[in-house]
Amino acid sequence: MPRVKLIAGILYPNEELLNWSVDELSKLWGRPEIFSEPVPFDKTDYYHEIAPNLIRTFVCFPGLFDAGELVDWKHAAIKIEAKSREPIRAVNIDPGYVDGARLVLASTKDHAHRIYLRDGIFGEVTLRYRFKKWQSFDYTFPDFASGVYDEFLTQVRRMWLQEVK
């Protein structure tokens, strides 16, 4: 059973909804031990139904988790999104994990580069860590490929290395 660092990317329109989302996630996995810098989500308008201007912040939860629980994390995130506002969610939460070699994210959307796990959830290796840096793939979302999250992911990777010893 691979042990990994659980992270979640949160897309939100304002600080109030970020704080609410973090509180909801904390009930499941503990209070986040680190937060990424907030980054404007402006490389695509994919989530325009949530709000015209969105910000993404990543959080990392304390301890190591079983990577096999990725599907359960995504279903929990979907439930929180549904509670955020009716009928259209006010936040988007993307759980995933970091280990020594990769960032893996869960998705409800199928695509050629995603592997079906179970219960309607797919897994995607979004970035890999190689030659001491994060590397993207041709399918990697533009914001991830830009390197804007690399500092946070490297910090999480270091924490993983410490905790697996």
Q: What is the pLDDT of residues 65-111, one digit of tens each?
A: 999 999 999 999 999 999 998 777 899 999 999 999 999 999 999 99
Work out the average pLDDT over 43-51: 68
- Total residues belonging to the chain: 165
| % of the chain exceeding 90 in pLDDT | 87
Domain count, the chain: 1
Show the domain range for 97.
3-164
CB atoms within 10 A of CB 4: 24
CB-based contacts of 46, cutoff 8 Å, min separation 6: none
Classify burial at 82, counting beta carbons within 10 Å of its beta carbon; exposed 0-12, middle 13-18, buried 19 or more.
Answer: exposed
Q: How far is CA 132 from CA 11, 29, 108, 136, 153, in A?
A: 28, 29, 31, 13, 12
Q: Is the bond into 87 cis (omega within 30 degrees of 0)?
A: yes
Residue in 25, 97, 100 with CA at minimum distance from that of residue 66: 97
> For the segment 62-74, what is each residue's pLDDT rounded down to a tens digit?
999 999 999 999 9
At 152, which helix (H) or strand (E)?
helix 150-164
> For the segment 135-157, what is each residue's pLDDT rounded down to a tens digit?
999 999 999 999 999 999 999 99
pTM score, two decimals?
A: 0.94
